[in-house]
Amino acid sequence: MTNTLRSIRRGPSTPERLLVLIPGYGDRPEPFLDRAASFDPNEQWLVVVVEPQIPGDRGPYWYNVDENGPDPVALASALRAIDALCASILTETGLSEDALVIAGFSQGGALALAHLVDPTSTVTPRAVAALASYLPSRDEDLIDLSRASQRLVLFAHGKNDELIEPIRGRSASKAFHRADAIVSWVEVDGGHRFDTPLIDELAAWLTALSLGDEPHAPPI
């Protein structure tokens, strides 16, 4: 069964662009929405931040991870919930999928990537941003990434990330590049935090999308 996600939002009443932002393990949506002024100062986007659906002692989360990888049942439930939320907001606003960007931090970024390539997804965003993240799978080599072809994908990772090593993000970026996604890979100063270095990269990438430009995709 798909749970209804709690979400909060800011932006214009008649938006032209939609950004769904997915926090990570233990994160509440409010601090992420507070930072929206940093990456969308002119409120060009309807920014919707969702709350992880599983309550926990250390804050809400999307799925547990063991030595074999993410819990597949919880991961599938989260993907269905994200897909349903995106479909609902697109219907509410009258926007098309080409106006939709899904971005996420940590577990949230993993969900954004997984949703893009999930064959059961009913919504395909124009672009995805994975911040300090990775591709969530018990066997990455078995994932079909063909749905990512020609989609814009930003990978931004802190050089000193102590929780998710940058090599995991780089590995995912290379896999998406091989699948013909239009990939941008950026390493920034800092660790595993949704703060200024990552936000600056997200802001520049969103600005390029808003202007109709193709974000710069440096070699990976």
Q: Is residue 216 part of a domain?
A: no
Pick the closest to residue 176 from 136, 117, 118, 123 (CA basis).
Answer: 117
With 90 as the cut, is the pLDDT of residue 20 above it? yes
Q: Is residue 160 part of a domain?
A: yes
Q: Which two tokens stand for residue 102?
A: 């899904």
Q: Is residue 218 part of a domain?
A: no
Q: Is residue 219 part of a domain?
A: no
Q: Is residue 215 part of a domain?
A: no
Cβ atoms of 181 and 148 within 8 Å: the answer is yes
Phi, psi dihedrals of residue 178, rounded to the nearest 5°: -65, -25
* Of 79-93, 159-173, 205-219, the least confident: 205-219
Q: Is residue 2 part of a domain?
A: no
Average pLDDT over residues 61-72: 91
How many domains, the chain? 1
With 80 as the cut, is the pLDDT of residue 18 above it? yes
With 90 as the cut, is the pLDDT of residue 123 above it? yes
Q: Is residue 204 part of a domain?
A: yes
Range of the domain at 113: 7-210
Q: What is the pLDDT of residue 1?
A: 39
Q: Is residue 80 part of a domain?
A: yes
Q: What is the pLDDT of residue 137?
A: 80
Mean model confidence pLDDT for the chain: 93
- State pTM to two decimals: 0.94
Q: Three-state DSSP class for 174?
A: helix
Q: What percentage of residues in the chain have a pLDDT greater than 90?
A: 88
Quickly count helices (H) and strands (E) in the chain.
6, 9
State the CATH number of the domain containing residue 79: 3.40.50.1820
Beta bridge partners of 19: 47, 101
With 50 as the cut, is the pLDDT of residue 48 above it? yes
